Amino acid sequence: MDSADPVSYREAIAHPRFGQKWSDAVDEELRSLAENSTGDYAGLEDVPAGVTPISTKWVFKTKELPGGGIRYKARLVIRGFEQQVGVDFDQTFPLVAKLQSLRMMLALAAVHDWEIEQMTVVTAFLNPKVDGDVYMALQQGIEADKPQVCKLRKSFYGLKQAPLLWYENIDHFLRSLGLQRCEYDPNF
């Protein structure tokens, strides 16, 4: 493995030894975005009047696998720092449980001999629907004849409001199961 991960799409694809691996990683990311219906990539639009699309960037990382080997990962992220308050988003911060609430839950689990499990939601930020009209400029690796934008349907990595949208999404799901928020935690 080379010491540094590529910093651009061109550098990754043109890599003399690992270009095909990076290309496959890009394809995997684009498939994931399509499967999650994050945007209307088939119905690409010309840039609407008065809209400044938010640019994107490819991020490339090599990850060592637990059993040995290397995974080549490409992630397309939107440059949230280009978003404008009141135009592209209103709120950004999700509610977070206080440490005391977590300690209480762990104490209850210990007293009642409950099992505690952790879970990872793969592509968590790609699940909730995006609030408002957010347009993303296309990045290298997505075919287009002229500058076009994709209107996002769902949240995206890098959006300022992505954590809040994910929180609202998972909160709605957990409530649909009959679970309730802790009324003593002021963050809820």
The distance in angstroms from the start CA to the end CA of the chain is 46
Residue 2 forms part of a structural domain: no
The answer to whether position 83 is within a domain reads: yes
The mean pLDDT values, 10 residues at a time, for the chain of 188 residues are 76 85 90 84 69 87 88 90 76 76 91 91 84 78 65 87 88 91 68
Q: Which domain holds residue 115?
A: 9-176
Cα–Cα distances (Å) from 7 to 59, 82, 90, in that order, read 7, 20, 31
d(CA 162, CA 136): 14
Q: Is residue 158 part of a domain?
A: yes
pLDDT of residue 125: 84
3-state secondary structure at position 60: strand
Count of domains for the chain: 1
80 class by beta-carbon count within 10 Å (0-12 exposed, 13-18 middle, 19+ buried): middle
Cβ-contact 12, 6 below 8 angstroms: yes
In a domain, 182, yes or no: no
**pTM of the predicted protein model:** 0.71
pLDDT of residue 30: 85
Evaluate whether residue 181 is within a structural domain. Answer: no
Answer whether residue 33 is part of any domain: yes
Residue 155 resides in a domain: yes
Q: Residue 66: CB partners within 8 Å, gap ≥ 6?
A: none
CA–CA distance, 132 with 119 (Å, rounded to integer): 29
Please, which residues have CB within 8 angstroms of residue 76's CB and are 6 or more apart in sequence? 29, 30, 33, 56, 57, 58, 59, 139, 141, 157
pLDDT at position 93:
72
8 Å CB contact between 29 and 60: no
